[in-house]
Structure 1
Amino acid sequence: MASGSGDKKESELKPELKLYSYWRSSCSFRVRIALNLKGLKYEYKAVNLLKGEQFSPEFTKLNPIGYVPVLVDGDLVLSDSFAILLYLEEKYPHHHPLLPQDLHKKSINFQAANIVSSSIQPLQNLATLKYIEEKVSPDEQLAFAKHHIEKGFVALERLLKDYAGKFATGDEIFLADLFLAPQIRSAVERFKMDMTQFPVLCRLNEAYNGIPAFQDAMPEKQPDSPLTSAS
């Protein structure tokens, strides 16, 4: 009996949630922030995009299109960061709400998140840039990505200038912030964007860097990061 009780306690400590992630993926980064904000424990399952593990039979059973992140919650398998975030919000609404009650402010969060998820990130992801390299020229990759990032940032700067407080839509962290933080970081560190024309986004980025839930979700702190492996 004692052994059975111990086994039960051990199983209770094991996270129910599994997140299939790649350390550098901004889409995975968003979900990691949400899980941290909501205080949800999860098992990190690394998928190496550079090695093509996203196209393995094991992974495509989870997500046929071969993208990270994928969240597994018991029998539920859910891909696409936007869908995952809304699922977590519905299931755990009282664990740091990701959406404000105010309808107007909520719509601004959706709009900002959508600018990142549909008008910026897909145009800078690994598959898109690889296609540009193969079909056009390796020299066009960076220019192509920076063009679309700048276009999206101009829109975000205009959208948020009348709403931003400490964070994107006031003084609380909401959905828009989860999309903005990884995107701004990627623009600065990966694509070497000049951010001087985006004072609102720069100020928000400084605020994000001081929040533990954001810090712990940083790419370099993930178990599959080369920096983590080196240490």
Structure 2
Amino acid sequence: MSIDNQNAFPEQEKRGLYRAIQERRDVRSQFLPDPIPDEILVRLLEAAHHAPSVGFMQPWDFLVIDSVEVRQEVLDIFERENERAAENYAGDRAQAYRSLKLQGILESPMNLCITCDRSRGGPNVLGRNTIVETDLFSTCLAVQNLWLAARAEGIGVGWVSILDQQELAQVLKLPEDVYPLAYLCLGYVSEFLDQPELQAKGWRSRLSLEELVHRNRWGAGLAPGDELISLLQRR
């Protein structure tokens, strides 16, 4: 069924958006040393700043980190925490884990920490009364906006999640109410991989979308002949 939707983007622009979503990668190994021009960095930050936020609280701040000294301190935290994480696995799985490159802190020309100010907007933020964590959710949307804009600009982004957040906050001298939500590595890359690196290296495979879609209630799968499941299987 075709719907005449005058609010939709032109086809070429829609294809660009969906391409950015499909080809976005968590980059660790393909960074080039070329610096990101300031005008492009501003575009990425502007994209992040236009993310939706509950109560329009806009809880994010952006720490642009190009100091090698600061990045080395962050790398030291990563190495300690990564060694602890490796202890969660045994045998071949442990060997596979240790073979993975999970950060590009020094290889990338720039790091960026996106923080969440948990006090922004005061004690009563519209829409946050019941679900207090909506400030964190909102900041995650800013991260995704930046990530998609970066892919459109040909810039790779890698999220370094194996960090002790309290130690990271101390290194970055964050105020008490400011939480370091996402520590990112940014830079131009030699290539964007055809598939996520963890998938390519056999760590995990992408789940089947049709197995993740429910109808009305959890566990109520789509019935045979349901047009939605037919479309999902043909995509």
- Regarding TM over 0.5, the answer is no
TM-score, normalization: structure 1?
0.24
Q: Whose relative contact order is higher, 1 or 2, with alpha carbons under 8 Å and at least 6 apart?
A: 2
- Higher strand content, 1 or 2: 2
TM-score, normalization: structure 2?
0.24
- Higher helix content, 1 or 2: 1
